[in-house]
Structure 1
Amino acid sequence: MDQDNLGPAIEKMGITFSELTAEHAVGIMPLEGNTQPFGILHGGAAALLAESVASFAAHQWAKQFGKSAVGAHLDITHLKPGISDRIICTADAVHLGRRTAVYRFDNTSEDTGQIISTGLMTCYLVEEQPR
């Protein structure tokens, strides 16, 4: 995966990938610059991290069919405040089909290993569009 061409939103948030397959992906995001006014992880940033990691994994699956993956549904539950220097998102495939891919994800604190937020992401597999 080209870490230099992840798209403007992902680059703005500072997200990088340490693992990326259709079945399993791990993304890392710094807390700095992604907080709400109280200095803890912004819920929207946590959601963007999860959607990005799951969507890139789904794209790895979609490529074999000549397709791309786009987000269809994101369900996220915030459990604890994110105060770690870096947030780690791990996404694992629950369903890999010809039209959809579903991932279970956990956002965890790098410092404590505690789950900050968890949920499911569903992606549609769609025909690739020319850019």
Structure 2
Amino acid sequence: MPLDKETVLAQANAACKNTLMETLEIKVIDYGDDFLVASMPVNSRVHQPDGVLHGGATAALAESVGSFASHIFIDTETFFVRGIEISANHLKSIREGYVYAKATFVHKGRTTQLLDIKVTDEAGTLISVCKLSTIALPKKK
């Protein structure tokens, strides 16, 4: 039986303890049949020296939300997920507030997955467009 949304979100966020996601304060906040959304505060912890959101922090947010999406939609008893390629086009700067990354599947294969990740600000303005390829690898028995 599938888990309810609150349980899935709680489990995803609990998995972030003592990781980069916790350091960057990334929170998984929503998901559906073919998408997952996470948020990240924009503050001095994720700024580049001139006070705007660092592209590397944006890429970390995108890879986190995309990898979580792939993870949620595979058999985790048999497989684990790894990111194999990420690209990011940064379109607009942001100094404060929150950014939201929404990962949607372009391709949901048995072995490889391709996700489109849109990063927006609180007003819905597009900040970055990212693509992430993931691979599902069999766990060793």
The answer, yes or no, to whether TM exceeds 0.5 is yes
> Which 4+ residue blocks in structure 1 deviate beyond 3 angstroms?
none
Distance (whole Å) between structure 2 residues aligned to residue 43 and residue 83 of structure 1: 12
Q: Which residue of 1 aligns with 2:3?
A: none
Report the Cα distance in structure 1 between the residues aligned to 2:53 and 2:67, rounded to whole angstroms.
21
Give the Cα–Cα distance (whole angstroms) in 1 for the partners of residues 140 and 24 of structure 2: 25
| 1:22 CA drift (Å) | 6.1
1:70 corresponds to 2:82:
yes
Structure 2 unaligned regions, length at least 5: 1-7
Flag the structure with larger Rg: 2
What residue is the counterpart of 1:117 in the other structure? 128
What one-letter code is carried by the residue in structure 1 that aligns with 2:80?
S
RMSD between aligned residues: 1.8
Match of 2:35 among 19, 24, 29: 24
| Cα displacement (A) at 1:64 | 6.2
Take 1:100 and 1:84, find their aligned partners in 2: how far apart are those partners?
35
Counterpart in the other structure of 1:80: 92
% identical aligned pairs: 29
Equivalent of 1:55 in 67, 74, 77:
67
- 1:45-68 CA-to-partner distances (Å, cap 9, x unmatched) read 000000000000001122267211
- Unpaired runs of at least 5, structure 1: none
The separation in 1 between residues aligned to 2:71 and 2:53, in whole angstroms, is 26
Q: Give the Cα separation in 2 of the matches to 1:85 and 1:122.
A: 28
Q: Aligned in 2, Cα 1:69/1:101: closer, same or farther, shift over 3 Å? A: same
CA-to-aligned-CA distance 1:67-101 (integer Å, 9 cap, x gap): 11100110110001023411100110110011111
Give the structure-1-normalised TM-score. 0.90
Map of 1:9-48 to 2, 5 A cutoff? 9-21=20-32, 23-32=34-43, 33-48=45-60
- Of residues 93, 118, 123, the one that matches 1:106 is 118
Residues 95 and 6 of structure 1: CA distance in aligned 2, closer, same or farther (over 3 Å) = same
